[in-house]
Amino acid sequence: MRAEHGPIIPAELAPGVRGWLVTDYATLISWSRDTTTFSHDARLWRDFNEGRVDPDSPLLPMMAPRANALFVDGVEHQRLRRAITDALGAVTAGHLAAITTRYADRLIDEFCERGQADLLNEYARMIPLLVMNDLFGMDEDQGVRFVTAMRNLWAGVDAERSNAEAERALSEVVDAKHRDPGDDLTSRLIRHRAGLSDEEVIMQLLLIIAAANEPTAALIDSALRAVLADPALRTAGGASVAVLDDLMGRVLWRDPPITNYPVIYPRVDVPLEDGRVIEAGSPILLGFAAANHFFQRENAERMEDSANRAHVAWGAGPHRCPARDEATAIATIATRRILERLPEPTLAIPPEGLRWQLATLFWAPVTLPVRFVPRPPATPASAPGPVPPAFDTAPDTRAPASSGLSSLSNFLVRLLRRS
């Protein structure tokens, strides 16, 4: 496409939905920072405003106007983003590491004796859900319903119904926290000095969890695929802080968790160097993966030193992902626990046998089957212990420690495979 159109590519985003794709690194950063010419406010989307976008378009839940920090600019963006960053900032690195490790170990306990597992659906897609359930104070039913709806939104499956179900689950969480507030992100957003309405709280929750679940799962999956492809990493020695930090940097360059998102809209017509014009109100996808790829190719000689952390996997400008550190930490810990607990995992099929789910906004494998030397669970099934607090605040210690998570894990795996 670049050979035919250059780095700014006209594209059909969905049937009848026209827009543009930016694949140039410098242009993507420049336009993301230029809040005078470009906006994230979808109310500028001309075709949407003029009724030319099908109401059933799978892009609408990810592109239609919303009252959250991703879709507004200026003072309003600063107000909403501050509430998000303050709520996230109250989560210490130690607490995040502890709950991520706990859930990672519980999930590994579910399959470590089998000697084989689908590390995408049984692990990578489970950890962000469990961690977010814990941090947001969701109960089991709310968490299951929400993550299923969000996966369908990212994939463009039954978009209108999925969007409604996601918002319904979050509305229930907000109502519950009004009655019984706690030390969780939902309660912090409700009582933040920014004075968010309940609708605004729901919209910020939708943004944070949407950004945390599938993208973090994709980052874990990408890191695990990189490990499986490199014999030097497929041992416990590959779990060192320095090795994993370098691995995550390379993965965020080469295989970012979000391919083409979010969207910006020019406030005025934007002329391109070749004479073409991007009309005001046209959606422009930010092609993070392509921008990283072409920057790497054009700057190969200096990629190993000065450019290691200059990727755009988390965006650029004032809308750069506020939870990037948390997502990277979760993915790093999840990858480390696999290396520490499963002896030298290997891909169960040839790499070319992996199947991929392709959509306008992202791409991801369907499964990640691996084999490894069977190991006993870290915690014997008969030993008492607390069920993860997101699902049972008063666990019955007479039951096996993993029973609550086991039933949830199996149920979610079935849901994820069906979706």
Q: What is the pLDDT of residues 315-329, one digit of tens each?
A: 999 999 988 999 999
299's enclosing H/E stretch is none
What's the number of domains the chain is made of?
1
| Whole-number Cα distances in Å, 174 to 36, 70, 197, 213 | 35, 20, 11, 19
Look up residue 330 and give its amino acid: I
The whole domain housing 234 covers 2-418
Give me the percent of the chain exceeding a pLDDT of 90.
Answer: 60
For the purposes of burial, counting CB atoms within 10 Å of the CB of 101, is it exposed (0-12), middle (13-18) or buried (19 or more)? middle
pLDDT the model gives residue 211: 77
Cis peptide before 266 (omega within 30 of 0): no
Mean pLDDT of 64-74: 92
Residue 388 tokens, joined:
């993860």
Look up residue 280 and give its amino acid: A
Mean pLDDT of 284-299: 93
Mean pLDDT of 350-363: 86
Asked whether the predicted pLDDT for residue 126 surpasses 80, the reply is yes
Which ranges of 180-240 would DSSP assign to H, the alpha helix? 185-190, 198-229
pLDDT the model gives residue 287: 96
β-sheet with 8-14: strand ranges across: 8-14, 17-22, 284-287, 260-266, 38-39
- Report the CATH number that the domain containing residue 226 is assigned in CATH: 1.10.630.10
State the greatest distance between any 2 C-alpha atoms of the chain, in Å, as a whole number: 73
Is 369 in a helix, a strand, or coil?
strand
pLDDT the model gives residue 303: 65
| Whole-number Cα distances in Å, 190 to 86, 128, 173 | 12, 22, 11
* The pairing of beta strand 8-14 with beta strand 284-287: unpaired
65 within 8 A of 59, measured Cβ to Cβ: no
Helix 93-111 and helix 324-341: axis angle, to 10°?
A: 40
The angle subtended at Cα 97 by Cα 92 and Cα 100, nearest 5°, is 125
Query: What average pLDDT does the chain have?
Result: 85
pLDDT the model gives residue 36: 96
At 179-234, the pLDDT tens digits run 999 999 999 999 999 999 999 999 998 888 777 788 899 999 999 999 999 888 88
Mean pLDDT of 10-17: 90
Rounded Cα–Cα distance for residues 158 and 81 (Å): 29
Which ranges of 20-59 would DSSP assign to H, the alpha helix? 25-33, 46-49
Look up residue 344 and give its amino acid: E
pLDDT the model gives residue 206: 82
110's enclosing H/E stretch is helix 93-111
Asked whether the predicted pLDDT for residue 379 surpasses 50, the reply is yes
pLDDT the model gives residue 156: 61
Region of 280 (left: φ > 0; alpha: ψ -120 to 50; beta: rest) is beta
Rounded Cα–Cα distance for residues 412 and 124 (Å): 12
Residue 72 CA neighbour count, 13 Å, CB half? 16
**Sequence-distant (≥ 6) Cβ neighbours of residue 347 within 8 angstroms:** 228, 229, 368, 369, 370, 371
What is the number of H-type helices and E-type strands within the chain?
15, 12
Sorting pLDDT into bands at 50, 70 and 90, what band is 304?
low
**Sequence-distant (≥ 6) Cβ neighbours of residue 169 within 8 angstroms:** 138, 142, 145, 146, 149
pLDDT the model gives residue 262: 93
| Whole-number Cα distances in Å, 17 to 47, 84, 125, 310, 335 | 8, 31, 30, 32, 38
At 144-155, the pLDDT tens digits run 787 777 767 666
